[in-house]
């Protein structure tokens, strides 16, 4: 993983429970290794940026638990960063992601997310002290995490999700995503990076989007397939998963 000493080439705003943040982080790691980029993993909490929304009516039923689990672990990450330094963040991103997204479908892992036992497993995998499990419930970190998410949104506008990337921060290109459903090959990783930077850097470019996308190619969601199923997304969730969505 690329070191983050000095000024990083990439700031990556990460929520641990976002599947697209995980997939995109694996892509960015491949790019960083080939381009010798430094990556600084920063925080954005889906739970905090949606704090003024009504989860009962505006999100599918499982989202509040998931978003809260992400915030709980970001508190742990914030405490570690404050005490031990930013250089430990990449290991935490990897350890949390592998502990969840790489588990097989049907493992029941989702109900285990960001519990003390799960956090202890992640910390052990990242080579960090188990004592930081205590930060899961320390909401004194929430203000700093929220401020970091607001910084990311100040660079992109608010009608986005996670992840958010800044290339050559703080004044370089910032964008949401790209939302990709599978990790590119090593060769394709750099080609995709160059294409994204070229497109995002074009003056006046704002958005390119499609709502129909393949199911994220992750073990916890069924694994990688040569013929993945597609699904339609709207407002940050799969269409038809809210009570008011058309059937």
CB neighbours of residue 142 within 10 Å: 17
Q: With 90 as the cut, is the pLDDT of residue 1 above it?
A: no
pLDDT of residue 53: 92
**Which residue segments constitute the domains of the chain, with CATH numbers given?**
10-207 (3.40.30.10)
Please give the share of the chain, as a percent, with pLDDT higher than 90. Answer: 76
**Where is pLDDT greater, at 233 or 10?**
10
Distance from C-alpha of 244 to C-alpha of 39, rounded to nearest angstrom: 40
pTM of the model: 0.89
Q: Which one, of 76, 78, 73, lies nearest residue 16 by Cα?
A: 73
**Contacting residues for 96 by C-beta, under 8 A, at least 6 apart:** 16, 73, 122
**pLDDT bucket at 214, cuts 50 / 70 / 90:** confident
pLDDT on residue 188: 97
Whole-number pLDDT of residue 239: 56
The DSSP call for residue 96 is H
Task: Give pLDDT tens digits for 135-165.
Answer: 999 999 999 999 999 999 999 999 898 999 9
pLDDT at residue 131 tops 90 = yes
Q: Mean per-residue pLDDT for 11-22? A: 96
- Residue 3: what pLDDT? 46
> In 155-190, which positions are buried (b, 16+ CB within 10 angstroms) versus exposed (e)?
bbeeebbbbbbbbebeebebbbbbbbbbbbeeeebb
Mean pLDDT of 28-50: 97
Residue 10 to residue 74: CA distance in whole angstroms: 19
- State residue 236's pLDDT score: 59
Q: 11 by DSSP, 3-state: which? A: strand
pLDDT at residue 2 above 60?
no
Q: Which of 145 and 4 is assigned the larger pLDDT?
A: 145
Task: Report long-range pairs for 197-200 (Cβ below 8 Å, ≥24 apart).
Answer: 197/167, 197/173, 200/167, 200/173, 200/175
- Of the two residues 213 and 186, the one the predictor is more confident about is 186
């Amino acid at each position: 993983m690329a070191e983050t000493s000095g000024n990083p080439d990439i700031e990556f705003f990460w929520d641990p429970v976002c599947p697209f943040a995980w997939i995109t982080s694996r892509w960015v790691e491949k790019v960083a290794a080939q381009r010798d980029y430094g990556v600084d993993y920063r925080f954005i909490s889906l739970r905090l940026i949606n704090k003024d929304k009504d989860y009962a009516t505006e999100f599918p039923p499982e989202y509040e638990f998931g978003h809260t689990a992400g915030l709980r672990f970001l508190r742990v990450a914030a405490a570690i960063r404050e005490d031990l330094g930013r250089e430990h963040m990449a290991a935490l991103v990897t350890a949390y992601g592998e502990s969840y997204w790489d588990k097989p479908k049907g493992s029941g892992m989702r109900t285990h997310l960001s519990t003390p036992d799960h956090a202890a497993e992640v910390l052990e995998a990242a080579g960090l002290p188990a004592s930081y499990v205590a930060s899961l419930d320390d909401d004194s970190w929430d203000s700093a995490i929220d401020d970091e998410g607001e910084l990311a949104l100040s660079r992109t506008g608010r009608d986005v999700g996670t992840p958010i990337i800044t290339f050559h921060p703080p004044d370089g290109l910032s964008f949401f995503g790209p939302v990709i459903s599978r990790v590119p090959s090593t060769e394709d990783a750099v080609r995709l990076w160059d294409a994204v930077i070229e497109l995002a850097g074009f003056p006046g470019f704002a958005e390119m989007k499609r709502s129909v996308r393949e199911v994220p190619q992750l073990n916890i969601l069924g694994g990688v397939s040569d013929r993945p199923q597609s699904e339609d997304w709207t407002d940050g969730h799969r269409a038809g998963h809210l009570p008011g969505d058309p059937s």
